[in-house]
Structure 1
């Protein structure tokens, strides 16, 4: 079976393509456009094709040529802050790109009526938006039945992807899974707290100057390793109910001071902590955790990668990157 991963030039997509390739599911095709990861880091046995999902002809060519049995649609403009500056682009990539994938499946079916892939669409916890602010308690566990009230163009675009996938299932019987993804991290991740902390720690280690600049260390976040996320997506493709929606979220909540302690333990040296006002937020976000009961019942998934392992792998990743940049 051929498998297609759109957005394989991103953190999750690149790891997913490599994982599927390593376990021998079949020929894995990854598409990318303006990648956020270094493509040289991706296993060369993954077939990478440049493809802008905003152009339907390009998507039709890939799907029509390879007829993938599973399609993981991860290609997206995935930054909420960017969506305020570039709302047209965000909608174009996320909504029209999703339409392009499903329409390409329909066109492939015109030629090969028995073509019946499973399309897993990477949706987002950002779809819940204001609903999360209305729920009571400091720690909020949100179910898939929660009302969708996105608070930025990115969240709106993800609601669009979500509902488009549903309507293609209802009207065209294209099998799909709508995966609402919460916070994840891992190697190749950029611009999240775990990535920033581990990168700064490795820079301090290389300089033998053990100072770590941080924001609010009392903040708590539910964060999962990208490997647990990838495994959940694959399990949903195999065992999820077509047309249905599932949260994918960490069940473990970490305090940022605990992340720093894990880094210190891995490096073996205590850091001098400096609070950088520029890293402080005016208000702290509530702890948002996705209720994954439905995911676990459907697939047997559970969170397996401990944060200590994630931290170790990210530190090693940054060390390798720094060593490479030094020749």
Structure 2
């Protein structure tokens, strides 16, 4: 099946592209700028698989008409919650506006294509401990600008599916990590600091924000496999959590990374690293995606964190 991926050059994009190729699909990607994109370079993608453009420039419908994809995977969007807090209007333009652009293009030029719209676990907001794990029927009560912009996109996708008969599946991924992730995200940020310390470029002090929050972490490779499973076997109109189902505190992440480190380090709290909005505990259930597609997470968090640290060692060495 020909699959058009928005956000293919982002953190998850190359991993999703690799998973789609492995499953036998023909992959095309919407890209901004002229590259290069090193994480895509190793994939067996055709030279004409990259299509320059922007969801906001009005030309995306022409691309959908020309490609006639059997499916679209919408990954593009603003993904860093603090950035959304700094510029709420931009967050809504990107996350809601981009989703509407994909839905409109599909409705006009690929009405029978399957659409996988990727939002976020942040759509749920703060859920009481007694109501965990989070299931897909958990009310959407976002507490951050980022979560609200993703919830708006999620609701729009569901409404367009009902109103216009589009074949939409919504994915709500929880936290995920892996090589290539920006240092703005917690696992990558901590691993980068450790790699700097190992290289003698930072004093042996790991500076951290609030270490108490509990999150549901997955490997990006597991998340990508979940997206492919939903594309192929998810129920039209349904929403799916894509998560590990396990809660891990930031303190536990730090302990695992310190165990992988080649030098001893101290941990020091830095108030500047604390987020203005930080939900205390987020743990999801993957029962629905497991039942409908057979997907389950396979990669242990300790292994994921080891790959993230190794990736930063390589990045800093180069």
TM-score, normalisation: structure 2 = 0.88
Q: Which residue of 1 aligns with 2:133?
A: 141
- Quote the Cα distance in structure 1 between the aligned partners of 2:167 and 2:278: 39
Match of 1:5, SS? strand
Task: Name structure 2 gaps, 5 residues minimum.
Answer: none
Picking from 208, 222, 228, the partner of 2:222 is: 228
Does structure 2 retain, via aligned residues, the 8 Å contact 1:18–1:43?
Answer: no
Contact 2:125 2:147 in 1 (8 A): yes
Does the 8 A contact of 1:262 with 1:311 survive in 2? yes
Out of 12, 36, 39, the residue aligned to residue 37 of structure 2 is: 39
Local SS of the residue matching 1:11 = coil
Of structures 1 and 2, the one with the larger relative CO (CA 8 A, separation 6+) is 2
Counterparts in 2 of 1:178 and 1:283: CA distance versus 1, 3 Å: closer
- Choose from 194, 208, 214 the match for 1:201: 194
Measured in 2, the distance between the counterparts of 1:195 and 1:294 equals 29
**Number of the residue aligned with 1:63:** 64
Task: Tell me whether 1:104 sits opposite 2:105 in the alignment.
Answer: yes
- Superposed CA offset, 1:170-207 (max 9, x none): 22221110112211111122212211111011111111
Distance in 2 of aligned mates of 1:249 and 1:157? 20
The alignment's TM-score, normalised by the length of structure 1, stands at: 0.86
Matched, 1:14 2:14: yes
Q: Contact 2:247/2:282 (CA < 8 Å) preserved in 1? A: no
SS at match of 1:168: helix
Deviation for aligned residue 1:104: 1.5
SS in 1 for 2:199: helix
Do the aligned residues in 1 keep the contact of 2:115 with 2:169 (CA within 8 Å)?
A: yes
Please state how far the C-alpha of 1:218 moved relative to its aligned partner: 4.4
Pick from 240, 254, 261 the counterpart of residue 260 of structure 1.
254
Q: Deviations over 1:84-118 (max 9, x none)?
A: 33222222222222222122123225xxxxx6211
Counterpart residue number, 1:112: none
1:25 aligns with 2:21: no
CA contact (8 A) 1:184 1:229 kept: yes
The answer to whether the 8 A contact 1:211-1:274 is kept is yes
Match of 2:84 in 1: 83
Where does structure 1 differ by over 6 angstroms across 4 or more consecutive aligned residues?
A: none
Find the aligned partners of 1:87 and 1:207 in 2 and give their Cα distance. 39
